[in-house]
Structure 1
Amino acid sequence: MLKTGIYVDAENIRLCGGYGMRYDVLVELASAGNSVVLRANSYLAEDRERTRDEPDYRQKLYRYHDVLRQCGFKVIKKYVKHFVDDEGIITTKANADMDLAIDALLQARNLDRVILLTGDGDFIRLVLALQNMGCRVEVIGFNHVSSELKEAADSFLSGFLVPGLLPMHSSNGEMRQRGFPINYNPERGFGFLRYYSLTPSKGLVPESVFFHCSKAPEVNDNLFLDSSNIFEFKVVKNPDNSNRTEAWDIRSLDD
């Protein structure tokens, strides 16, 4: 049994494209296959002045904390501090990096795998230290992820590619996927998109689907040459091509 710990740098995730992330899906991902989640920590900021003075903020924040606890996470709060400089400009700070790092190092003695959700390059030393303790370190991030952090980790996965981790909004309620391009032929305008399904027994299962650039009229053709670009699309059976499975209505995630 693979003993797993999850550590979420919640403020970084929130500010870098992961707002609205579903913690229950994260637990499902971490628990898939021969794995059991022993630790699940989320490190969040709380503005005590707003908590005291704004009932709506307090209610919304505490409801969010309750949802995390119901998903099995321990909520570790870092209280926002306000600073005034010589010119009277107010700045705020609430950094839980040290708390996360210390907890992960102490708890890693009982873990085989650490899933770290952040894009902050300040955690590179933590990743290396955990690896030296014998832990496999998997990083999940969204936007603005440090390239050095990706290289230091045993694996990196874009959170956009985990099915259900972030909600996808569709005007007609259709099922859509997120994936990245592979084996694109620019001269003929076709290639394949790789996406994932999430199963309890195997975790993330990679799948590939054919696409033609004509199904992405608003996408720059050159974007399909870079596998780091992520697209949303629907998977359909093309009746004009022997019901072949294809990706249609392809849109860049940055649109």
Structure 2
Amino acid sequence: MTLKTGIYVDAENIRLCGGYGMRYDVLVDLANRGGSSMLRANCYLAENGERTKEDRDYRLKLYRYHNILRQCGFKVIKKYVKHFVDDEGILTTKANADMDLAIDALLQARKLDKIILLTGDGDFIRLVQALQNMGCRVEVIAFNNVSSDLKEEADSFLSGFLIPGLLPIQQDGGRWYRGIPINYNSDRGFGFMRYYSMQAHGLHAESVFFHCSKSSVSSDGLFLDSDNIFEFKIVANPENNNKTEAMDIRSIDEIQP
């Protein structure tokens, strides 16, 4: 049985919380694996209407981005930025598409089996519950500043950093991977990195040995928290019978601007 899948992207939340530069084609590829077939793909984003009219470079860059999303199979739903002056005379802007996303997802979920929701915003907890009550499996993907309650409410949560190719790694020679530490022995300074590869059936979890001496992190205590994400290379260690190990380990929190 093929699962009919819908993707709903809260683009502003993703952009502001570590997902700038996300590859939408990789997201579509993921949705079409593991016995699933993408039926709907919606992206909700903000547009500054005034700037679009006045700034040609902004307009061309924005519309080029929109066209890329459409070529990937996404419907682009725009929310125009509104400007408000509060009682203290401070100008604020707002372009919240949460309601649009929630209504569309609820209406379209009638013909879906699985929903991939990209946001870290805890305001979507009730939406997740409503979709689950309609019989849909809800999988959440996000990057930084993710609501812990949203993670718990979803049928599954996965950091977007861990999905191969979704957010390209800045390469400086060799192939890099992203993973999380598991079973770290602080007394002996070793553990394993869990990372994912893209297979025909979907994401496949794998693990590789590491030693803290092969890292540049500020404290090996970071390896005790499986919420911390690291980048590393996987190489054969001639000093250990050419067994594969994680090398050049670096924390993404310490390299991100």
What is the TM-score when the length of structure 1 is the normalising length?
A: 0.98
Corresponding residue number in structure 2 for 1:191: 191
Q: Give a deviation string over 1:97-153, Cα, whole Å, max 9, x none.
A: 000000000000000000000000000000000000000000000000000000100
**Structure 1 position 180 matched with structure 2 position 180:** yes
Corresponding residue number in structure 2 for 1:15: 16
**Structure 1 position 66 matched with structure 2 position 67:** yes
Corresponding residue number in structure 2 for 1:162: 163
Residues in 2 aligned to 1:63 and 1:21: alpha-carbon distance in whole angstroms:
15
Counterpart AA for 1:191: G
Corresponding residue number in structure 2 for 1:226: 225
**Structure 1 position 151 matched with structure 2 position 152:** yes
Corresponding residue number in structure 2 for 1:212: 211
Counterpart contact for 1:180–1:227, Cα < 8 Å: yes
Residues in 1 aligned to 2:242 and 2:228: alpha-carbon distance in whole angstroms:
27
- 5+ unaligned residues in a row in structure 2: which ranges? none
Give aligned-pair identity as a percent. 76
210-219 vs 133-142, greater mean Cα deviation: 210-219
Alpha-carbon deviation of 1:87?
3.2
Alpha-carbon deviation of 1:85?
2.1
Counterpart contact for 1:116–1:138, Cα < 8 Å: yes
Written as runs of structure 1 = structure 2, the 5 A alignment for 1:60-99 is 60-99=61-100
3-state DSSP class of the match of 2:188? coil
Alpha-carbon deviation of 1:88?
2.7
Q: Give a deviation string over 1:203-251, Cα, whole Å, max 9, x none.
A: 1011100000000143411111111110000000011111100000000
97-106 vs 236-245, greater mean Cα deviation: 236-245
Counterpart AA for 1:157: L
Residues in 1 aligned to 2:207 and 2:110: alpha-carbon distance in whole angstroms:
38
3-state DSSP class of the match of 2:253? coil
Alpha-carbon deviation of 1:180?
0.2
Q: Give a deviation string over 1:8-59, Cα, whole Å, max 9, x none.
A: 0000000000000000000011111211000000000000000001001000
Residues in 2 aligned to 1:218 and 1:146: alpha-carbon distance in whole angstroms:
26
Counterpart AA for 2:251: S
Corresponding residue number in structure 1 for 2:201: 202
Residues in 1 aligned to 2:123 and 2:237: alpha-carbon distance in whole angstroms:
47
